[in-house]
Amino acid sequence: HLRGKTALVTGSTSGIGLAIARAYAKAGAHVVLNGFGDADEIEAMRKTLAGEHDVEVRYHATDMTDVAAIEAMVAEVEAEFGAIDLLVNNAGVQHVAPVHEFPVDKWNLIIALNLSAAFHAMRLVIPQMKKKGWGRIVSTASAHALVASPYKSAYVAAKHGIAGLTKTVALEVAESGITVNAISPGYVWTPLVEKQIPATMAARGLTEEQVKRDVLLAAQPTRQFVTVDEIAALALFLTTDAARNITGALQVIDGGWTAA
């Protein structure tokens, strides 16, 4: 159902963003990949995605904390494809430290990447979406858009900020055929999480199962990781006609975390 449309997915060289980019390409959208990583691996990924789904796939290495670079990327993509019909604000990083020791540069980075980048991308793509009378904006928030955990002040502040930004922009474009939503995952199984397991097993003298269940998934009642494909399926549903009245919503997908 996305044939002929163009999607920009930030932070899509890995994890959740890559899964959403795949799902959108599978549904027929041209896709602009963004994020960091090994140039050869990204090029291979780009070719595979384009070849498997018969769509155009581009890659922009744009640092999403660089406002001028975001402006240049959006202008370039719109010049080539006419408009960005689907925007996924997904690039994000984490830093864990008590607030009185929180490095100021990490605070600034997390607010710039996890919050301000979404503002810039939204303000830049909305004029063309309005002209076409159709658009879908999805931001990857977090359970931390609704609840807090200690030592994650910047991340929790940014994700709560995404919740407010999502609601505000949704109201502004409500009559323009554009929906604006956030997806709030709990703990997601990504390579990033997988890599932490051996060290935690060694540090705490636990088995792999104990680390997953009692350390990582302590806050998630299902005691199961959310998968990137589950998030991509939700992000894809939000682009369908059936979801046209879902806007300004925080779609929680967290194994019951925020119900507790």
Contact between 255 and ligand NAD per CB under 6 A: no
Q: Among all chains, which residue has been given the structure tokens 């502004």?
A: 172
Residues 225-254, mask of contacts with ligand NAD (x by CB under 6 A): ------------------------------
Q: Which of 35, 30, 38 is nearest to 7 (CA)?
A: 30
Q: Which of 24, 59, 151, 155 is catalytic?
A: 155
The CB-of-93 to ligand NAD minimum distance in angstroms stands at 5
Q: Which of 137, 167, 184 is nearest to 248 (CA)?
A: 167
Given the rule CB under 6 A, which of 11-19, 75-83, 121-129, 244-252 is the region that contacts ligand NAD? 11-19
Determine whether 155 is an active site residue. Answer: yes
Q: Is 180 helix (H, G, I), strand (E, B) or coil?
A: strand
The CA distance from 121 to 236, in Å, is 19
- DSSP label at residue 92: -
What is the C-alpha radius of gyration for the chain, rounded to an integer number of angstroms?
A: 18
Q: Which is nearer to ligand NAD, 126 or 156 (CB)?
A: 156
- DSSP label at residue 99: G
The CB-of-259 to ligand NAD minimum distance in angstroms stands at 16
Among 26, 28, 36, 67, binds ligand NAD (CB under 6 A): 36
Type of residue numbered 201: M
Q: Which of 129, 137, 139 is nearest to 176 (CA)?
A: 129
Residues 129-148, mask of contacts with ligand NAD (x by CB under 6 A): -----------x-x------
Residues with catalytic annotation? 155
Contact residues for ligand NAD (CB under 6 A)? 10-17, 34-37, 63-65, 90-93, 113-114, 140, 142, 185, 187-188, 190, 192-193
